[in-house]
Amino acid sequence: MSDDERPTDGELTQELRDSLSELAVPERPSLAAIAGRGRVHRRRRRAAFAGLGGATSAVVIALALGLTGVFGTAPGRGSGTVQTADFTLTSYVNGTVALRLGQVFDPAALQRALAQHHIAALVRTDTYCSSNPAVPAPVSRHVLNLPDPGGTRQQRATPPNILLTGNFPVMPSQLAPSVDPVTIVLSPAAMPSGTELFIGNYDLGHTILVSVVHTGSHTCQYSQEPPGAPWDKHSPGRR
């Protein structure tokens, strides 16, 4: 068959679309059925966060103190602020960097922006990167806040949607699907030498995972879900 007889991209595209439009689809389920299933998701999520609230109360207190230090500080003159439609990176004079992330972001652009702020990072979508042996993550050296959808008075008094990581490495952190955007406060100086930040964005579960890996000896694999939720074995309050 000559090249002239081969379908063009346009013809193929049309053929694909035609084939799709010819598919007979069953009637959609009732909205009530979808909402009922959706309520199960909401309940699970709230239950998970309720469990976290009890387990991490000490962390929440530390968080409130930490936030004063971070957000009461003017942005530094170094790298300044990088703002895109998807994320904002702001350097503070105390050396921390606040990263505000929307649900969808360009991993490559974020990785470049972090590099501008002198943060070595791997940013990937649907990919999990880890080191073996893992970078040690002493619980006492990091602070973690997961926003409570219900919120206590104390939590509501703090800026919303903050995950504060005063030290590295941080443990994998699953953020609430309802939290958008989220803000992560990074302390680059606290990163152990020879390591870099890993940020994984997973559409399934609408999760952002933050961890630290060894720069020269990590492996990455395709993964549509982060490996394990923080309220499982990684939860600081349960160690």
Partner 1 sequence: MSQDDAEFAEFFAASWGPCLRAVAAVTGDMTLAEDQLAEAFARAWACWPKVSHHPAPRAWVVRTALNAGASAWHRRSRETALTSHDIAAADSQGTGLDSAVLTALRHLPARQREVIVLRVFLDLDIDTTARQLGIAPGTVRAHLSRAMTALRGELVPAMTTEIGR
CB of 184 to partner 1, least distance (A): 17
Q: Which of 47, 18, 227 is nearest to 150 (CA)?
A: 47
**42 lines the binding site for partner 1 (CB under 8 A):** yes
Rounded Cα–Cα distance for residues 85 and 54 (Å): 35
CB of 235 to partner 1, least distance (A): 23
> If DSSP codes are grouped into helix, strand and coil, which group holds residue 125?
strand
Which CB sits closer to partner 1, 26 or 138? 26
Which CB sits closer to partner 1, 132 or 221? 221
Rounded Cα–Cα distance for residues 96 and 74 (Å): 11
**12 lines the binding site for partner 1 (CB under 8 A):** yes
19, 132, 140, 193: residue in contact with partner 1 (rule CB under 8 A)? 19
Asked if 184 contacts 146 with a C-beta cutoff of 8 angstroms, the reply is: no
Stretch that binds partner 1, among 14-22, 59-67, 132-140, 165-173 (CB under 8 A): 14-22
Quickly list DSSP for 141-166. G-------SS--HHHHTSPSSEEE--
CB of 42 to partner 1, least distance (A): 5
From residue 197, how far is each of 24, 123, 158 by CA, in Å?
47, 8, 26
- What tokens appear for 4 in the block? 């002239």
15, 83, 116, 228: residue in contact with partner 1 (rule CB under 8 A)? 15
The greatest distance separating any two alpha carbons of the chain, rounded to the nearest whole angstrom, comes to: 73
CB of 169 to partner 1, least distance (A): 23
**93 lines the binding site for partner 1 (CB under 8 A):** no
CB burial of residue 188 (10 Å; 0-12, 13-18, 19+): middle
Which CB sits closer to partner 1, 23 or 74? 23
**47 lines the binding site for partner 1 (CB under 8 A):** no
Which CB sits closer to partner 1, 80 or 149? 149
- Residue numbers at the binding site for partner 1 (CB under 8 A): 1, 5-7, 9, 12-13, 15-17, 19-26, 28-29, 31, 33-35, 37-42, 45, 103-104, 106-108, 124-126, 177-178, 180, 201, 203-204, 206, 222-225
